[in-house]
Structure 1
Amino acid sequence: MNISWDDARLFLAIAETGSFSAAATRLRIGQPTVSRRLAALEYQVGAKLFRRSVEGAALTVAGERLLQPARKMAEWAGEFQRAAESSDSSPKGLVRVTASPFISFDFLAPFAGHVARKYPGLRLEVQSSIQYADLGRGEADLALRGVATKNADLTMVHTLELENAVFVSKALKAKLPKRPTLQQIPWVAWAPPYESVPPNPQLAVLIPGFTPVFTTDNFLVMVAAVEAGVGAMVMGNFSHRFNAQRERNLVPLDVDLGPHGKQVLHLVCPKSALDIPRVRKVSELLVEELERARRR
């Protein structure tokens, strides 16, 4: 039996997303292709790997046995790719950076323009997501995230502490008390399935009966609502030379967020990825900008 990495990756995508359609989206192929290739894999293995239902795809006992080996294959495939690319002689090509929607929108998008001007051969792909990409598997090259890694194969290249602030439109700020309480502020926040994403849980702790006036599952829609004067939202008060808040006429309120007034931003990378010139160069440029922001 010779199971290819492509087949193992297909199996893993279905197992981790729990559906054929989500797996197709992750792999960027059609759902009929997912079904056809899985059927061929199950025929090769000689057992059903998933139980299909209206709720999705659940692993069978035979599928459970393959899950951990498939995950290890994914990690080694990422390591193999990075080792092969470490022989590149110059910093050129695609570098994938993943971050939260806020950091992607506010910092990484304009940072990409800086990279393009400085190194025309480098291209950035920014993966804006609530979920963390698996760096070990090669789903991204670099990550800016709020939680320190405990994975021995990853390294924290740089760490920056940020102040959190409550942003509103100028028009709404003029209508609110000079120093409003958290209860007096109309809030824009995350909607399901992201209701557990910060700052929702933190605001729920600080504000009894926390009920936003507007919710959405899209960060840019949240920003648009704040710009329109619907309410306020919490964002990192990330003062850097690419600031989007100033251009979009959002201003901070003078309010105390208590223990949630700060956040930490970590630049994380697979250790072996720093041997790839293009990844190393982008990480160096990111560190330069983060250090510049720290000194502002």
Structure 2
Amino acid sequence: MDIPWEDVRLFLAVAETGSLSGAARQLRIGQPTVSRRLAALEYQLGRALFRRSVDGAVLTGVGERLLLPARRMAEWAGEVGRAAKSSEGHLQGIVRITAPPYPCAAFLAPFAAWLAGKHPGLQLEVISSPHQLDLHRGEADLALRHKKPEQEGLTVVKSFSIESAAFASKTLAARLPRKPCLTDIPWLAFAPPMDTLPPNPQLEQLIPGFTPVFTSDNYLVLAAAAEAGLGALPMPVVRHAFAGPSQLVALPVELGPYKRLTYHLVCAKSALDIPRVRLLSDLFVSEMERTIASPA
């Protein structure tokens, strides 16, 4: 029995999001379309793949057996797509990069503006998410991550070690003790589902009973709260040459082992054979090295 890749992709989306609505959002199609195509697939197989309820869709035994082969098929589909793109002779098109919230706002957005002026045919698409996109499947071409990849087939293009400090408004800094302790500072931090990302784990390790004064799942909201004087936010000391102005100042506190953050630029090895991905990664590495060499 031949099952088209698009049907496998739909099955996988429902399985991994846990609902038809989640699959619809991921695949960017309507939920009725997902329901209709899934019903057609189950009719073709003669078996139910999911048990549906108001809480979502749970795999049946048959669905469980299909899950691993479907994931492998998704990885190979990504590999096929990259092989096809590697033969392209032009340097135009979209390159998708995924990263934590801070580098998305502070580095990638201004870098995209610079890129548009230098290479107008090359477009950067930036995805900020608490969940890692699957580079094997081609969900993104490049990723900035805090940890080196362990999966076979992924490679580190470049690693960046960046100094961090606690930043606050001048107004808040003036209200704090001259040499504040970590516990003297009102902290800003991420709310779920972003609370597994820095600075939350670091602050929880450094401050017993850590309780932030304000949380948000959006980095730009946290940055605005810091600018307004609500609290302090740990951020890298360096600023991209194309970043906008900021009134925040670094506080004289020690962040211990978390004074430096490391970002790894990661991709599938075969992605570097795609001309536009190779060009964009080279340009980004060059700009990041220049930024780190010239801290604000």
The interval holding the TM-score normalised by the smaller chain is: over 0.9
Match of 2:263 among 258, 262, 265: 265
- Percent of residue pairs identical: 60
TM-superposition CA deviations, 1:186-242 (whole Å, max 9, x none): 111111233332221221221121111111111111111111111111122233312
User: SS at 1:211's partner residue?
Assistant: coil
In 1, Cα distance between the equivalents of 2:8 and 2:14? 10
1:86 Cα deviation from its structure 2 partner: 0.8
Name the structure 1 match of 2:209.
209
Moved more, 102-111 or 84-93: 84-93
Query: Within the alignment, does 1:255 sit opposite 2:253 as a pair?
Result: yes
Contact 2:100 2:197 in 1 (8 A): no
1:164 Cα deviation from its structure 2 partner: 1.7
Question: Aligned pair count?
Answer: 294
User: SS at 1:193's partner residue?
Assistant: coil
Name the structure 2 match of 1:190.
190
Contact 2:114 2:242 in 1 (8 A): no
1:293 Cα deviation from its structure 2 partner: 2.3
Contact 2:169 2:227 in 1 (8 A): yes
Name the structure 2 match of 1:276.
274
Name the structure 2 match of 1:105.
105
1:113 Cα deviation from its structure 2 partner: 1.4
In 1, Cα distance between the equivalents of 2:72 and 2:34? 21
Contact 2:130 2:193 in 1 (8 A): no
1:177 Cα deviation from its structure 2 partner: 1.6
In 1, Cα distance between the equivalents of 2:74 and 2:273? 20
RMSD across aligned positions (CA): 1.3
Matched AA of 2:289: E
Name the structure 1 match of 2:58.
58
Name the structure 1 match of 2:292.
294
The runs of 5 or more residues in structure 1 that have no matched partner are none
Matched AA of 1:270: A
In 2, Cα distance between the equivalents of 1:78 and 1:285? 24
In 1, Cα distance between the equivalents of 2:35 and 2:56? 13
In 2, Cα distance between the equivalents of 1:194 and 1:112? 24
User: SS at 2:16's partner residue?
Assistant: helix
Matched AA of 2:262: V
1:98 Cα deviation from its structure 2 partner: 1.0
1:152 Cα deviation from its structure 2 partner: 2.1
The runs of 5 or more residues in structure 2 that have no matched partner are none
User: SS at 2:23's partner residue?
Assistant: helix
Task: Report matched runs for 1:35-46 at 5 Å.
Answer: 35-46=35-46
Moved more, 13-22 or 195-204: 195-204
TM-superposition CA deviations, 1:21-49 (whole Å, max 9, x none): 21111111111211111111111111111
User: SS at 2:144's partner residue?
Assistant: strand
Runs of 4+ in 1 over 6 A off after TM superposition: none
Contact 2:238 2:292 in 1 (8 A): no
Q: In 2 relative to 1, CA 243–179 (structure 1 residues): closer, same or farther, beyond 3 Å?
A: farther
In 2, Cα distance between the equivalents of 1:150 and 1:15? 24
Task: Report matched runs for 1:12-161 at 5 Å.
Answer: 12-161=12-161
Moved more, 104-113 or 169-178: 169-178
Name the structure 2 match of 1:163.
163
